[in-house]
Structure 1
Amino acid sequence: MIKEEPGLRIDRQVAIAGRVTQADRGPLAGAVVRLTKMPTEWLQRVQAASALSVNNPGCATTRPNGVFYFLDLPDGEFAVAAGSGPEVQATVTRDAGGRIQMVWVDLNFSPPAKAGR
């Protein structure tokens, strides 16, 4: 548990956000969104988190309205996908003040193919 210190402020920034929809259902809740391409230093962080079985910063789950987000990503080229749907490219950058410029992506969900089909 994190103990709050007086005057301490943690400022998180949304880097990539978007909505996942499925053709016959509209916005999709509970879909897993993955970063499928990312800068090397972020890939190493994702791999380390996966090895420790802690929250994976390379995955997000959509809310009831189909919206997802990734926080505090480094500058660079990313690709995002949901299910076996197509990847969408996103470039994360910062403004002159160092604030992340949020990128919005719309993803179409395709269920993964079932084994044996």
Structure 2
Amino acid sequence: MSNKIRLEAIRHQVAIAGQVKDAQTKQVIPGAVVEIADMPESLKSKLDLLAGLYGDDWEKRVERPDRTRTRVDGYFYFQDLPDGSYTLTASLLGTGTRYSADPTIKTIPPDSDLESDDTEVQVSRDSDGAIAIPTVNFYFQPTALKGNVTNSEDGEAVVMAKVEIEGSGEYTFTDNDGNYLLSSLEASTDKSSARPVKVKVVAQGYQKETSQLVDLNQGQVTTHNL
């Protein structure tokens, strides 16, 4: 009789994947927490068993069958989910008032390349057990300031003007059309009031710098031309 132990590799399948991004810049947001909010009963039963095994540590766990975080490239995925309908939620940690609390959700069915407003996705397997992966993308609206910088004399766009939030170290430069965008700015911690900031503009070839007060509100894009 042979005493050899036969080992078989366990194959995992991605069931749902997606990204979390800044709605204005489309830059990815790493470290976002993505959770499964609605799921089939079979997954609920599995989670109940795991919660009993882990006890008080269960709620503290970041990586769970129903919870994960985005990687440095903004991507996330869930593996080996049972067939059924799912809805996901996302939240940001440590961003303060730089983003809205509620993201826009866009889904892409496995047989399409176009984003849909449907928030529910389906996980299903073919006859070979392979999963056609649906995509769920989250877009967080930032607290942002955008606008256009022009020459007050002739109305021409001012290119490469430096637009800065005084005292914050946050700045950007206008593009070839004089447009600028400052995204992921701090708003007031008091949601009932805006945060006034002083915006300074400096441009090469212009002797006079300009400073103006602008109000910022959490999760809103304020347009201010200079």
TM bucket by the smaller chain? 0.7 to 0.9
Task: Indicate the SS of the match to 1:94.
Answer: coil
In structure 1, the residue matched to 2:139 is: 108
Letter in 2 for 1:85: P
Task: Indicate the SS of the match to 2:45.
Answer: helix
| Deviation sequence 1:5-44 (CA, Å, 0-9, x none) | 6541110000000011122562110000010110011022
- 1:57-72 counterparts in 2 under 5 A? 57-72=65-80
Structure number with greater Rg is: 2
How much does 1:116 deviate?
7.7
How much does 1:85 deviate?
2.6
Gapped runs of 5+ residues in structure 1?
none
RMSD of aligned alpha carbons: 2.4
Gapped runs of 5+ residues in structure 2?
92-101, 106-118, 143-188, 192-226
CA distance in structure 1 between the aligned counterparts of 2:49 and 2:141, rounded to whole angstroms: 28
Letter in 2 for 1:101: A
Q: Contact between 2:24 and 2:141, CA under 8 Å: does it hold in 1?
A: no
Q: Which runs of 4+ in 1 moved over 3 A?
A: none
Q: Contact between 1:82 and 1:108, CA under 8 Å: does it hold in 2?
A: no
CA distance in structure 2 between the aligned counterparts of 1:35 and 1:94, rounded to whole angstroms: 19
Q: Residue 56 of structure 1 is aligned with which of 58, 64, 67?
A: 64
Task: Indicate the SS of the match to 2:87.
Answer: strand
Letter in 1 for 2:129: G
How much does 1:109 deviate?
3.3
CA distance in structure 2 between the aligned counterparts of 1:56 and 1:47, rounded to whole angstroms: 12
Of 99-108 and 31-40, the range deviating more from structure 2 = 99-108
**Pair 1:69–1:8, CA change in 2 (3 A):** same
Of 39-48 and 97-106, the range deviating more from structure 2 = 39-48
Q: TM-score, normalised to structure 1's length?
A: 0.79
CA distance in structure 2 between the aligned counterparts of 1:77 and 1:10, rounded to whole angstroms: 25
CA distance in structure 1 between the aligned counterparts of 2:41 and 2:71, rounded to whole angstroms: 28
CA distance in structure 1 between the aligned counterparts of 2:37 and 2:71, rounded to whole angstroms: 20
Letter in 1 for 2:103: G
Letter in 1 for 2:89: A
Residue 116 (structure 2) pairs with residue 85 (structure 1)? no
Letter in 2 for 1:63: R
Q: How many aligned positions are there?
A: 110
| Deviation sequence 1:47-70 (CA, Å, 0-9, x none) | 333442264211011001110000
CA distance in structure 1 between the aligned counterparts of 2:140 and 2:48, rounded to whole angstroms: 24
How much does 1:107 deviate?
1.3
**Pair 1:60–1:103, CA change in 2 (3 A):** same
Letter in 2 for 1:97: D
How much does 1:103 deviate?
1.1
CA distance in structure 2 between the aligned counterparts of 1:8 and 1:20, rounded to whole angstroms: 35
CA distance in structure 2 between the aligned counterparts of 1:60 and 1:10, rounded to whole angstroms: 21
Letter in 2 for 1:71: Q
